Amino acid sequence: MNEIKEAFWLSHQIVQMEIHAPDIADKRKAGQFVVLMTDERGERIPLTIVDSDVKKGTITIIFQVVGKTTTCLADMKKGDCLFSVLGPLGKPTEIENFGNVVCVGGGVGIGVIYPIARALKDAGNEVTSIIGARTKDILILESEMRAASNRLLVATDDGSYGFHGFVSQVLQSLIDEGERIDRVFAIGPVPMMRVICTVTRPFDIKTIVSLNPIMVDATGMCGACRVAVGGETKLACVDGPEFDGHQVDFDLLTDRLRMYYFQEKEAVESYRCRCNGK
């Protein structure tokens, strides 16, 4: 049984959870994810493994409440059990000593990039991290990211903390200042990853992004997660989730993420009713 060992809010929309899953804790590597179900009638949703504790046999996830499943998950408490947790899935991040790397995380994507930044630093890279959020209150993992990086830069859209503007602007200024950057890792909302790729493309800086298409089985069986990379169709769950951002068709990803827009709304409403009925 996958018991929730710890659960708390990092911001008013983002929850951190520790889940009992010893086999996964044992094997997981940076960049990999799990698929979980809250209950038997639930949907299978993918969430990145942010951290693990082999001794305690737990994994850590950080998620933003956006729809039915994440709302329901956020309602679960320490001591509750999840219906299922499958993992680790996906290819681990390719970690080497690249030299100077920049890790860009936006919103809940900071949680996803955190284990990658750590692994890159452990591998001897000089890690600069740029993290951003709409406003100061919802910026997560600042101290963790500081510890995982050689240098941390912060941006908020509204200027309430750090640089006033977007993470892409911070990256642009590093490039403009002539810093040598060997590789960029960018994880966050699709528009953010797209802009980061636009910034790095003219300078030919290899940019790795982590794609979040809708998934079902996440084992390469269904094709729900297909994305186009370099004109070829790939399955994000087994060929990814990380790809060369300069090759990714972000328009397709955006369209495919909207496939169930109306049903998702209906599901949240129906869940709220189910909960109120309790």
Ligand X SMILES: Cc1cc2nc3c(=O)[nH]c(=O)nc-3n(C[C@H](O)[C@H](O)[C@H](O)COP(=O)(O)OP(=O)(O)OC[C@H]3O[C@@H](n4cnc5c(N)ncnc54)[C@H](O)[C@@H]3O)c2cc1C
What is the β-pairing status of strands 207-210 and 126-133?
Answer: unpaired
Q: Which stretch binds ligand X (CB under 6 A): 41-49, 79-87, 138-146, 162-170?
A: 41-49
Should residue 253 be labelled a site residue for ligand FES when binding is judged by CB under 6 A?
no
198-227 mask for other proteins (x: CB under 8 A)?
A: ------------------xx-xxxxxx-x-
Q: How far is the CB of 168 from ligand X (least distance, A)?
A: 20
Q: How far is the CB of 177 from ligand X (least distance, A)?
A: 32
CA distance 175 to 125: 18
Should residue 167 be labelled a site residue for ligand X when binding is judged by CB under 6 A?
no
Q: How far is the CB of 87 from other proteins (least distance, A)?
A: 7
**Nearer of residues 165 and 189 to ligand X, judged by Cβ:** 189
Q: Which stretch binds ligand X (CB under 6 A): 21-29, 62-70, 118-126, 146-154?
A: 62-70
Q: Which of 54, 66, 222, 275 binds ligand FES (CB under 6 A)?
A: 222
**Nearer of residues 35 and 153 to ligand FES, judged by Cβ:** 35
Encoded tokens for 266: 């209906």
**Nearer of residues 75 and 182 to other proteins, judged by Cβ:** 75
Q: Which of 106, 111, 162, 188 binds ligand X (CB under 6 A)?
A: 111
Q: By the criterion CB under 8 A, which residues form the site for other proteins? A: 23-24, 26-28, 37, 41-44, 68-69, 83-89, 216-217, 219-224, 226, 228, 233, 238, 251-252, 255-256, 258-260, 263-264, 266-267, 270-271
